[in-house]
Structure 1
Amino acid sequence: MGLCARSARRLPRPLARDPERLRGQRHHLRERDAGLPRPPHRPSRQVSQGQAPPRRRRRLPLEPLPPPGPERPPGLYPRHRPPPPGHPWVEPEDFLDRWTPEVGLALLTWVSSTSSHRLDLAPLVAHGRQMGSLIGVDVTQAAGLLPYDCMAPEVDFTISTSLKWMCGTPGAGILHVAPRLIAECEPELRGWFSQDNPFNWDIARFAYAPDIRRFDSGTPGIVAALASLPALDWHAAQDHAALLAHNRRLTHRLIEAADALGLDLATPRPEPRRGGSVMLRLPHEYPAPEVVSKLRAQGITTDHRGQTLRLSPGAMTTEEGTERLIEILSAALER
């Protein structure tokens, strides 16, 4: 989660030469997977770029800061609340302590990439409305697995990815902006596709497109969007409740195995409080890079953040594969 004193800029986006096919890709993300209503939404090359939100003409409340200078260039200044020592995630009540009326923008990470901790969005959004903040939600770590609706609770913008549970390639994410805000937004990062007429070459007559297209930028990249279409087509045709149930069976087994191995969980145990991944804290005598390498040598793909081992059983992960992971992990830890 992040709180910022002001909002700044938006992003480039990929565009297919066949607009109907790209529209189909966006609809898969929107209607079935990302909980986004019909436009306004646009593709985004990177979620990181999507996190730089729209800039509004109306001035946002600013946190008192010294004037820009060598020590403080202009831009976004987050109020970051790190987790308490020994705790893998920030509890909402700790985050709310810093969410005051001076906060112009709050970006909520629905599911954490380092703990799989899942936020209860409703009370956070309600608090943000009382503070008068713009509210965005990053659903990257959950889109395609957990049901999401950008209207319940209603947020100002949503960003996501074509990766992870969506099964696509990098570079074909999505941005949704609440229709009521579009006319107020003037993205600082703009290009010829930000205009109503992209072929207007008179820079003195530049004008933002009247709709969501104003969040486009320069010459679009199409490869990622086109490369993701087969995966998104496949994903949109699946039984999403069955995909989630499959993930829950495997994550339950992983948590059970972690307990048997004496490994500390860095993920909440209750299902409603977590996403689709399970994070385990490895003992310091077993460096995580070495454990990941041993698993990879046996055909098991995992990753780590520090000493935290990240396990994300997806649509193609089998129960047999999960048992093999547990067996190899146990041997790697010599337990």
Structure 2
Amino acid sequence: GDEVVISADNHPSNHRAWTEKAKRYGFSVTVVDAVTPHPGPEYYLEAFRKAVTPRTRLVAFTHVTSTVGDGFPANELCALARERGALSLVDGAQTFGVLDVDLSQMQPDFYTGSGHKWPCAPRGTGVLYVRRTAQAALSPSIISLYPGSVGISRSHEGIGQRDEPAMIAFGQALRMQMTIGRPAIESHARELAQALIAGLSSTGGVKVWTHSDPARSASIVAFQPASLDPRRLARALYENHRITAQVRGGEDRPGLRLSPHLYNTHADVERTLAAVRRYLTSGV
């Protein structure tokens, strides 16, 4: 039967969607193992190359993982899928709005992005890009007013009474980012992330999970704060310093996730490092 190849590092919602669909429609799901620390793009290329078979219909992977910020070689993986006659789906939730993504180079069949994350837009907004050659393979899961004859996008928009103010705000958020410039946003965010990685790596007792090589990461920095409870540290950082850190990583890479963006500065990085070091010394 048909199969879908995914990565173990996919977001749980992405992973669950495929396993549930597999139960319903009878195809199989092959999972490419994640490796810690990030072994480099060559590992993932070879692992997917081994996993894809003539029965593979789609390859689905995360551009940058939400846990520790591992970056996948998206351009090469999409090319691999094309070479093997499979479709490609890229989860861009952690790249859309912070990296200067060029879909004309990546050439995915499907690319998704969340509006409420890096684009700084309201919840409930997002994008789905469908490559023209893949559009005929889609059929809407919800049937409403618009038949397929009105175009691919309209035929998939029968979702009830959507939040129009949120969609308008989404558009304005994207216009703001285009005014600043995607290359400038990426450069600034990566610079701050590298400063965090360097500072945390030089702090005794801290284990940094995110790779220092920019080719293997983006603007997510994940770390384990020695013996401190990550949840208590996250609470102290927010309540006492208004620094937002998410508890992420799972059992194999537990800790906190920081996500510097266009509105942050090097002063924010230094303030964060000082606070973490203070709690490592005094406890929380």
TM range, smaller chain: 0.7 to 0.9
One-letter amino acid matched to 1:293: R
Q: Corresponding residue for 1:231?
A: 173
- Over 3 Å counting, the alpha-carbon distance change for 1:241 and 1:156 in structure 2 is closer
TM norm structure 2: 0.81
One-letter amino acid matched to 1:78: V
Size of the alignment, in residue pairs?
261
> Equivalent residues in 2 for 1:141-180 (5 A)?
141-180=94-133
Larger of the two Rg values belongs to structure: 1
- Over 3 Å counting, the alpha-carbon distance change for 1:138 and 1:152 in structure 2 is same
For residue 255 of structure 1, the aligned residue among 191, 194, 197 is 197
Q: Tell me if structure 1 keeps the 8 A contact 2:190–2:218.
A: no
Q: Corresponding residue for 2:243?
A: 300
SS at match of 2:271: helix
Instruction: Provide Cα deviations, 1:47-68, integer angstroms capped at 9, x if missing partner.
Output: x68x969xxxxxxxxxxxxxx9
Q: Corresponding residue for 1:269?
A: 212
TM norm structure 1: 0.69
Greater fraction strand:
2
Instruction: Provide Cα deviations, 1:294-315, integer angstroms capped at 9, x if missing partner.
Output: 1011211111114221111111
Q: Corresponding residue for 2:49?
A: 96
- The 2-side partners of 1:141 and 1:324 are apart by 24
> Equivalent residues in 2 for 1:77-116 (5 A)?
77-84=28-35, 86-87=36-37, 91-92=43-44, 93-116=46-69
Q: Corresponding residue for 1:322?
A: 269
Q: Corresponding residue for 2:147?
A: 195
SS at match of 2:96: coil
- Over 3 Å counting, the alpha-carbon distance change for 1:260 and 1:105 in structure 2 is same
One-letter amino acid matched to 2:52: W
Q: Higher relative contact order at CA 8 Å, sep ≥6: structure 1 or structure 2?
A: 1
Instruction: Provide Cα deviations, 1:68-126, integer angstroms capped at 9, x if missing partner.
Output: 9xxx5436643223324x54689403333222222211112111111211122232222
For residue 117 of structure 1, the aligned residue among 47, 67, 70 is 70
Q: Corresponding residue for 2:233?
A: 291
- The 2-side partners of 1:249 and 1:269 are apart by 11
Instruction: Provide Cα deviations, 1:296-335, integer angstroms capped at 9, x if missing partner.
Output: 1121111111422111111111221211111111111118
One-letter amino acid matched to 2:181: D
Instruction: Provide Cα deviations, 1:149-191, integer angstroms capped at 9, x if missing partner.
Output: 222132211111112221111111011111222233223x122
Unpaired segments ≥5 residues, structure 1: 8-47, 54-67, 197-207
- Over 3 Å counting, the alpha-carbon distance change for 1:129 and 1:242 in structure 2 is closer
- Over 3 Å counting, the alpha-carbon distance change for 1:154 and 1:221 in structure 2 is same
Q: CA RMSD in A?
A: 2.8
One-letter amino acid matched to 1:5: E
- The 1-side partners of 2:150 and 2:27 are apart by 25
- The 2-side partners of 1:217 and 1:274 are apart by 37
One-letter amino acid matched to 2:112: I
SS at match of 2:200: helix
Q: Tell me if structure 1 keeps the 8 A contact 2:121–2:169.
A: yes
Q: Corresponding residue for 1:63?
A: none
Mean Cα deviation higher: 267-276 or 178-187: 178-187
- Over 3 Å counting, the alpha-carbon distance change for 1:209 and 1:74 in structure 2 is same
Q: Tell me if structure 2 keeps the 8 A contact 1:183–1:210.
A: no
- The 1-side partners of 2:247 and 2:263 are apart by 20
- The 1-side partners of 2:4 and 2:182 are apart by 37
Q: Corresponding residue for 1:332?
A: 279
- Over 3 Å counting, the alpha-carbon distance change for 1:89 and 1:288 in structure 2 is farther
**Percent same amino acid at aligned positions?**
24
